[in-house]
Structure 1
């Protein structure tokens, strides 16, 4: 199951943690791919990661949280997952 499908299924602590594991595994997979076949420094990585450092990842989460109308004031597991997912690519 891909990350988008898992994100759509997040509705509880358990499904959130499944999503977090899959996101982590996706980054580990990309890191391994990049070791053997590096992407251009001006494009995303093999699995679409734009933000490879923790600081850029967190900066993207913050920016997405401020910019997105999908993140509501009332917290829920899906909003948490969406923020983490946006950390992968949002600039």
Structure 2
């Protein structure tokens, strides 16, 4: 059974994509979509993690809609600045 969701992808460009999700009640992966196996080098030290995908999930995505790039003005605009204050700062005392 396929459990679809819409997500935003960023590579190679921002887009809306339709993808499958792991089964939330899977006894093997517990809804994570895969099983992580830690491994070590010849001295026994941690060397990395190998991720084995679970069969309850297929890793595919279909691009639905490419999203437009934000203009430079919108990307550089400060989100916390007061747009009605002169120069972004207010000279009135807080109440």
Shorter-chain TM-score: what band? under 0.3
Q: Greater share of strand residues, 1 or 2?
A: 2
Question: TM-score normalized by structure 2?
Answer: 0.20
Q: Greater share of helix residues, 1 or 2?
A: 1
Question: TM-score normalized by structure 1?
Answer: 0.21
Tell which has more relative contact order, 1 or 2 (C-alpha 8 A, sep 6+): 1
